[in-house]
Each structure stands twice: as C-alpha cells, then as structure tokens.
Structure 1
C-alpha cells in the first residue's frame, strides 16, 4: 500500500506529510506535487518544497502538465477560452493539477492506496468531497491534521521557514489565483502589476471577468485610491469583512498600519 501525499507546497500539506512519515515511516510514501510556472508560483514555495522533502529523506514526485514551465494559469484559461466551465472547477485547476493527478494515479496507483491531504477539522465539507471522489476511484482519502494525534503544528519547529508568501497571503497558491476574490486581486494590483496587466488582457480576450460581477479594469480606480490615498495594506490574511469595513470607513492615514515602500 502506498501513502500518496498530495503536497501542494503549502504549509498544511507539508505538516500532513511529516505526520504521515512519523506515524508510518517513509516506506511506500510518495510526496506528489504539481509544479507550477515560476511566473506565478513564488520561488520561496519551491524552496520550501525542497526543504520539506529533504527533511523527510524523500524525492518529490512530480505529476505535471506538459509545458507547465511556460504555461501559467492565465495562459491555460486563454487556451480554453474561459476561466471555468459552468459549475465546474477553474480550467487552471483541472489542467494543471487534477488531470495530471488522475493520469499519475492510473499509471502508478493501486486500489487501496492512501491519498493524504492537509485538510484540518474545520474543512469537513472538503474532506467529505475528497473522500467521495477517492472512494469512487478505489482509494482511501486520509486526513492526518483532522483525525490523528498531532506531533507538529509548524514547520518552524524543525527549522524550516514556511514560504514567505504567507506574510501577505493565507495560502501558497498561485499569485493571481483565478478562484480568488477582490481582496486577493487588490494584492495583485499592488504587488504584481505585471500579472494584473496580464489578467486584464485575458479578461478582454476571453470576454468574461475573473471576479464575478466586476472586470479588473473597472476596479482600478478604487484600488488606486486604496493604495495611494488610503494606504490600505495589501493583505489576503485579514478577514474579508474586516478588510472591506476598514476600506469603507476611510480611516485617517495616521491610524493605518503603513508598510514600507518596498512592499509595493
């Protein structure tokens, strides 16, 4: 029986991998990752993946879409002439991750293998959906962070700093996530103007918006005022309701936490 850890490069999936190795050892354990174009996956996420794998003494097994190095999510969307199909996952997820994952399982997995995820107890809905999908394919979905006694809560405990993207974002996803909302895209506007411009061009070419109900070009005046006048810190970690409440209140500049200019 193989223990296949879905290792996204994020902190939670790393902890799930460590818990699995500590509980069952590394024999038959696979750290499975989908590498993403360095244009949108921060170099420090790639550093983190390598350090976690080195700690476990295992290689990273990659299940990648052909041409992944030069095909970021926006290019996937443009190729498919849409960001997502009706009531379906975003094309970037299905093409860059889901399809290569299923192809890898077909060639390397066996019925009864464990597929391990870094979901925690607060993600009951996600766990239920993953369990249903994996059971239908003959695999068992396993959730160490939710169901096992924990031995580790932070990779810093073993001397591995989590990706620097966590200083701004609450995840280690692509910068310019096509499933994210307005708050994430404000961060992109401030911190990655190159991706912002690419996303605007993609919206124009596809003829549909990334964020439901608003094209990015329509948000630019508001975002410019938030950045230049209100000095709203670009962060995806603050609770969304609190973040937008702060914007609406138009707090005086001296009462805001103003980052140094190098943050922009």
Structure 2
C-alpha cells in the first residue's frame, strides 16, 4: 500500500521546500499539503499567496485543517477561554488554532500505518529540539515523521525562487512565517507590531484587559503592552529599525541607548510550533 505523505505546509519558506522535495521524491499524487489557514488580520496576504502558488506549482489543492470558527485569531480564542496559556504553560492559541484541528484531521483522514508527516525544520540546535518533540508526540500516536531539510542529505531545491515563486514579502521584516502578534514572540517582535500594525497591538491590549493577565512576563513579573508603549514610542521616534534581522543583543544594545529598558529582561523568542503543526 502506498503511503500518504502529509506535508505540514505552513506558508513559511522551509515548509514549501519540503513540499517540493517530497512531491518530487514520492509523486505529487501521494502528497497532502496540510495547512491551518489563519485569519487574514494576522496572516499576511503574501503568505496566503505563497501557499497557493506552491500548491499550484505542484498541482495540488491546499487541504485546510482549521478551527471551525474561522473568524477567530489568536487573541479571540484566548479571550474566549479566559487565558493565554493552558495547564502545561504552552500558549493556548497553538492548541486551539493548530494542534486540535491537526489531530482531528489526522484521526479522520490519515491512518498511522499508512501515513508519514513531514516538517520544514532546519538544521539548527533549536530546530533539532523541535524535531525530537514532534517525533515523540506523533510517534506516541503511531505516526512516522520526517524532516527532509535535515535528514535527506542531497537537496533538489534550495529556494523557491528557483521555480519562479518569490518567498513571502514578510521575510523582509520577520525571520519566519508565523502570525503577526505571535503570543510566543519576544519584545523585538512586538516592537515591530507596535511600529507597523497598530491594529494588532491594540487588539493585544484588549485581550490583556479582558483576560486580566499580560502576554509577557519578565523576571517573573507581568509587563503589559501598555507599559511598553512610551518606551517603544521613544525607540520609534529615534529611528530604531523595526526588524527581526538585527540580532537580539545588538538590537537591545541600540535600544538601551535611547530608553531605560534595563529592567526588562530580553525575552528570547520561543520556538513557535504553531506554523509547523
């Protein structure tokens, strides 16, 4: 029996490369491009364009496994639940918007003995940790996993531009294809949100007020978005670039010359599994 090759097609560049590699190796007719379509307010339109162009190139449909209420973003589901995190400390938006629909889709459409799940993790220490977690979790459910950008050796493609598909324009600012206003992201990400997406910043403030907790905790203490507004306003006025392409240490060293943020611990961005689940 031919395996069903399920590619977690997030909209990020790495997952697109995996989709192409898997389709070339096993035949597109045996591949499923599984995506969690996020609300247009937090998933950039160019990411949606990119996902569709990859699917069109492979001659495949986008298979959507999303929360039944597609009008909700990460803030809506958290306010609905009255919390940003679930019991084990992981962000609730991941479980509600990605994990639960993913497992429901697998149970209904992909028998473990006939399925392999592919992820676009890269060959870095953080990504290898994520590989171990996903291998363990899905392995406990009987599923095989594979990580072509790490485990396959020779590659047939290194960039989607090779097949005439430009990667999402969001990469000019961000280093990933995650939701804008990611609840796992650190202050550097949220400074970009403040500078470029005030609508999302304001919705984050609304969610904090509704839930009664902060998205960020530094040194064990809550730091609300409202607390950071005057500091971010000073940084923006002084011309601190709103980008993730400046390494964190250098970014905050530059910021500290402008505003008193020594009391704010550099919250390192956690590896957001959202875009790969």
Q: Compute the TM-score of the two structures, normalised by the length of structure 2.
A: 0.87
Aligned pairs for 1:56-135 (under 5 A) are 56-68=58-70, 70-112=71-113, 113-122=115-124, 123-135=127-139
- Where in structure 2 are there 5+ consecutive unaligned residues? 260-277
- Of the structure 1 ranges 82-91 and 52-61, higher mean CA displacement relative to structure 2 is found in 82-91
**What's the CA shift for 1:250?**
4.2
Q: 2:248 — aligned with what?
A: 240
Report the CA distance between 1:201 and its aligned residue.
1.4
| 1: CA distance, partners of 2:253 / 2:88 | 30
The count of residues paired between Structure 1 and Structure 2 equals 249
Report deviation, 1:240. Answer: 1.1
Deviation at 1:245, TM superposition (A): 1.2
Q: Give 1:27 deviation, angstroms.
A: 2.5
Higher alpha-carbon deviation: 143-152 or 236-245: 236-245
Q: Which residue of 2 aligns with 1:249?
A: 257
- Give, in whole Å, the separation in 2 of the partners of 1:121 and 1:174: 22
Q: What corresponds to 2:211 in structure 1?
A: 206
Match of 1:255 in 2: none
User: Any conservation in 1 of the 2:20–2:58 contact (CA below 8 Å)?
Assistant: yes
Deviations 1:143-183 (A, max 9, x none): 00001121111111111011111111111111111111100
> In the TM superposition, what is the alpha-carbon distance from 1:28 to its structure 2 partner?
1.8
Q: Secondary structure at the match of 1:212?
A: strand
Secondary structure, counterpart of 1:27 in structure 2: helix
CA contact (8 A) 2:23 2:30 kept: no
Q: 1:6 aligns to what? A: 8
Name which of structure 1's ranges 120-129 and 101-110 shifts more when overlaid on structure 2: 120-129
Query: Structure 1 unaligned runs (5+)?
Result: 252-264
Equivalent residue number for residue 22 of structure 1: 24
Distance of 1:135 and 1:72 partners within structure 2? 29
Instruction: Write out per-residue CA displacement over residues 4-31 of structure 1, whole angstroms, 9 at most, x where no aligned residue.
Output: 0001111110011111111221132100
Higher relative contact order (CA 8 A, sep 6+): 2
Find the residue that maps to 2:63 and give its secondary structure.
Answer: strand
**Residues 239, 87 of structure 1: CA spacing in aligned structure 2 closer, same or farther, 3 A cutoff?**
farther
Q: Is the 8 A contact 2:181 2:201 kept in 1?
A: yes
Alignment of 1:157-196 (within 5 A): 157-196=162-201
Alignment partner, residue 140 of structure 1: 144
Q: State the 1:86 CA deviation.
A: 3.8
Q: Distance in 2 between matches of 1:19 and 1:105?
A: 22
Counterpart of 2:263 in structure 1 is: none
Structure 1 Cα separation of the partners of residues 250 and 86 of structure 2:
31
